Amino acid sequence: MNNNVEYVENYKSIKEEPIEEPIDEPNKEDLIIDNTEEPVDETSDETIDEPELMNEPIDDTTEEPIDDTTEEPSDDTTENNTIDTNNENYNIESVDIEYTIDFLIPNDEKLVDIEKINNKVDNYINNFNSEIMTNYKNEYSKIYKKYSNMNYKIKILPKDKNDLVKIVVLKNDKKETVIKELTKPNYLYYNDILNELKTNISNEREKILFHYKELISNKELSINDKEEFQKEKDKFINLLEDYYSYTLYHKKMNKISTINSKSNLLLQTLNTIDTLETSKSTLIGDIYSIDTALINEMNTLNSNKLTEYNSIIQQLLGKKIEDIKKDTKLKEEIKLYLDTTMKHNLDSKLKNEKNKQDNYINYIINKLPILN
């Protein structure tokens, strides 16, 4: 039997399409959203720090300045929501988490409408927890239980002009009378969208800064110049607000606290597929965001175990078996070295965190279902 082991890093692609089985949870995606890092192709520090980007008028004329900054309401704090996972309702216990927005650069806070972002996030959460969604799941389940026989046909129709999909139950006769129909909710999977948004934000930031420098160097500005710049600015702000709405929603829905320092860690699992002739093992790795304190504990434990091992080996060198049996101190050291209680505890914490992130909600219900 051949044993082929290969390593695959699991970067899954999320499709922006409704799930086929709305009763079940949508497929869980494992990529950890990293809101705090600069975009890959972000502009240089010298350009980013320029405070005049949006908050100062282009010139000192009496015409209305291009100033679109908004007052910043306080961020939302803890919430006690009811969410539905695995088709069972359960309450999220109130926890002391302050859900703040992780801005790509500090100046973004002066550009976006914080209240608008919070309202969008609240709307997404309300959709997720809505009674309509609960009723839809129940109705969907009943369809496949009640009408899965020769007397009926169940069809899923193609998307309509509003990008909605209908499930219809027809009588299995010549007339094919419609007995029941459901319009599926629209699911938006945002991980891939976030990556694309980050790139677009970076590109637009560079373009708008360049345009701004051109404008302030021009002594004679027309109204059209200002209007054109305002359009570019609005487009840029819309991109920012979309990005921050999705990332804030992700934190709130999954109760992700940023109080503790986090580090990205690659955790691997071995997946073996046996056939009659071969056994192929694939090492699958996913990136997880783990508390730095937990990682430090594990590193400290491993370091201590290595020190204990070296000390034991050093004491065993040149000793007879009779002398080893009489050395109570050495036996205690060996016993301590073989004790795996702390390792099991740390492994359990790591496994729990991994399972929690494997079950993160990573989609938005941006259109509720319609029950007929």
The string of DSSP letters for 187-215 reads EEE-HHHHHHHHHHHHHHHHHHHHHHHHH
What are the CB-based long-range contacts (under 8 Å, 24+) for 10-17?
A: 10/284, 10/285, 10/286, 13/192, 14/189, 14/190, 14/191, 14/192, 14/362, 15/189, 15/192, 16/188, 16/189, 16/192, 16/193, 17/187, 17/189
> What would the pLDDT profile of 247-300 be if each residue is shown by its tens digit?
999 999 998 877 778 888 888 888 888 887 788 888 888 888 899 999 999 999
Domain ranges of the chain: 15-132+186-260+366-371, 265-272+284-358
pLDDT at 314: 92
pLDDT at 68: 39
pLDDT at 87: 38
- If you average pLDDT over each of 17-26, 163-172, 334-343, which comes out highest? 334-343
CA 180/CA 166 separation, integer angstroms: 10
Give how far the C-alpha of residue 289 lies from the chain's centroid of Cα atoms, to the nearest Å.
11
> What would the pLDDT profile of 198-228 be if each residue is shown by its tens digit?
999 999 999 999 999 988 888 888 889 889 9
Is a pLDDT exceeding 50 seen at residue 28?
A: no
Is a pLDDT exceeding 80 seen at residue 42?
A: no
CA dihedral (357, 245, 202, 72) positive or negative? negative
Mean pLDDT of all residues belonging to the chain: 77
3-state secondary structure of 270: strand
pLDDT at 271: 84
Confidence of residue 174 (pLDDT cuts 50, 70, 90): confident
CA 58/CA 211 separation, integer angstroms: 11
The residue type of 171 is: K
pLDDT at 98: 74
Is a pLDDT exceeding 80 seen at residue 85?
A: no
pTM exceeds 0.75 = no
CA 334/CA 261 separation, integer angstroms: 35
Tell me which of 43-47, 116-120, 173-177, 312-316 is least confident: 43-47
Confidence of residue 188 (pLDDT cuts 50, 70, 90): very high
pLDDT at 35: 35
CA 284/CA 269 separation, integer angstroms: 5
Is a pLDDT exceeding 80 seen at residue 86?
A: no
- For the segment 179-191, the average pLDDT, to the nearest whole number, is 91
> What would the pLDDT profile of 304-345 be if each residue is shown by its tens digit?
999 999 999 999 998 888 888 889 999 999 999 999 999 999
Confidence of residue 96 (pLDDT cuts 50, 70, 90): low
Tell me which of 89-93, 153-157, 165-169 is least confident: 89-93
Q: E strand or H helix at 338, and its extent?
A: helix 328-338
For the chain, what percent of residues have pLDDT higher than 90?
A: 45
Q: Are 177 and 170 in contact (CB under 8 A)?
A: yes
- For the segment 152-172, the average pLDDT, to the nearest whole number, is 89
- For the segment 141-170, the average pLDDT, to the nearest whole number, is 88
Is a pLDDT exceeding 50 seen at residue 66?
A: no
Residue bearing the bigger pLDDT, 271 or 42: 271
Is a pLDDT exceeding 90 seen at residue 6?
A: no
